[in-house]
Chains A and B, each alone.
Chain A
Amino acid sequence: MMDNNRQTMMLNIGDNVVTCTQTLSQGEEVMINGTMVGLKSNVWLGHKLAARAIAKGELIIKYGVPIGTATENIALGDHVHTHNITSNYIPTFLHD
Chain B
Amino acid sequence: MMNNPTGNLINGYLRNDGRKGIRNVLLIAYLVECAHFVADEIAAGFDKQSVQVIGFGGCYPNEHANRVMKSLCTHPNVGGVLLLSLGCESFNRNKLQQYIENSGRPVSTIVIQESGGTKKSIAEGKERASTILNQIQFVRRVPMSISEIVVGTICGGSDATSGITANPAVGLAFDKLVETGATVMFEETGEMIGLENHMIQRALTPELGIELKNAIIKAARYYTKMGHGSFAPGNADGGLSTIEEKSMGAYSKSGQSPISGLIKPGDLPGKGGLYLLDVVPDGEPRFGFPNINDSAEIAELMACGCHVILFTTGRGSVVGSAISPVIKICANPETYKRMEDDMDINAGKILSEGITLDEIADEIIKKIGDTASGTPTCSEALGHREFVLTYKSFEPIGPACLPV
Please give the residue numbers on chain A whose beta carbons come within 8 Å of chain B beta carbons, in ascending order. 9, 11, 19-23, 44-48, 60, 62-63, 65-68, 80-82, 85-95
B241 contact from A22, A85, A93, Cβ within 8 A:
A85
User: Per a CB cutoff under 8 Å, which of B193, B229, B248 touches A62?
Assistant: B248
Q: How far is the CA of A22 from the CA of B334 in the complex (A)?
A: 9
Task: Tell me whether B242 and A87 are in contact (CB under 8 A).
Answer: yes
Q: A45-B334, A93-B228, A94-B233 are in contact. Are A80 and B160 (CB under 8 A)?
A: no
Tell me, yes or no, whether B236 is within 8 Å of chain A by CB: yes
Return the contact of A92 from the options B241, B314, B334 (Cβ within 8 A): B241
A45 touches B244 (CB 8 A): no
Give complex CA distance A81, B160 in Å. Answer: 11
Q: Report chain A residues within 8 Å CB of B231.
A: 90, 92-93
Asked if B228 and A23 make an inter-chain contact with CB atoms under 8 angstroms apart, the answer reads: no
- Verify if B163 is at the interface (C-beta below 8 Å from A): yes
Q: Which of B218-237 touch A at CB < 8 Å?
A: 220, 223-224, 228-229, 231-233, 236
Residue of B whose beta carbon sits closest to that of A1: B164
17 A-B residue pairs with CB within 8 Å: A11-B164, A19-B160, A44-B239, A45-B332, A45-B333, A45-B334, A46-B238, A46-B239, A63-B163, A65-B248, A67-B245, A87-B229, A87-B243, A93-B228, A93-B229, A94-B233, A95-B233
Q: Is B351 an interface residue (CB 8 A)?
A: yes
Q: Contact between A48 and B242 (Cβ–Cβ < 8 Å)?
A: no
Interface set, chain B 69-87, CB cutoff 8 A to A:
none
**B239–chain A nearest beta-carbon distance, Å:** 4
CB of B161 closer than 8 Å to a CB of A: yes
Q: Is the CB of A68 within 8 A of B160?
A: no
Closest to B232 in A: A93
Query: B201 to chain A: closest CB distance in Å?
Result: 14
| A62-B245, A80-B241 known; A92 vs B229 contact (CB < 8 Å) | yes
* Among candidates B236, B244, B248, residue contacting A89 with C-beta atoms closer than 8 Å: B244
- Residues of B within 8 Å of A11, CB to CB, are 164
Q: Does B194 contact A (CB under 8 A)?
A: yes
Bound Cα distance A11, B164 (Å) = 8
How far is it, in angstroms, between the C-alpha of A80 and the C-alpha of B356 when the chains are bound?
27
CA distance A19 to B239 in the complex (A): 9
Which residues of B sit under 8 angstroms from A95, Cβ to Cβ?
233
Taking the complex as formed, is B159 at the interface, i.e. its CB lies under 8 A from any CB of chain A? yes
Closest chain A CB from B364 CB (angstroms): 21
Q: How far does the Cβ of B352 sit from chain A's closest Cβ, in whole Å?
A: 8
B-chain residues with CB within 8 Å of residue A65 when the two chains form the complex = 194, 244, 248
Q: Please, how many angstroms separate the alpha-carbon atoms of A96 and B220 in the complex? A: 25
Interface pairs A-B: 6 shortest CB-CB: A46-B160, A90-B229, A87-B242, A47-B239, A46-B239, A67-B245
Contacts of B233 in A (CB 8 A): 93-95
Complex contact A48–B241 (CB within 8 A): yes
Interface centre among A9, A19, A45, A80 (most CB of B within 10 A): A45
Determine the chain B residues whose CB is within 8 A of the CB of A63 once the complex forms: 163, 248
Q: Smallest CB-CB separation from A65: which chain B residue?
A: B248
Cα of A67 to Cα of B251 in the assembled complex, Å:
13
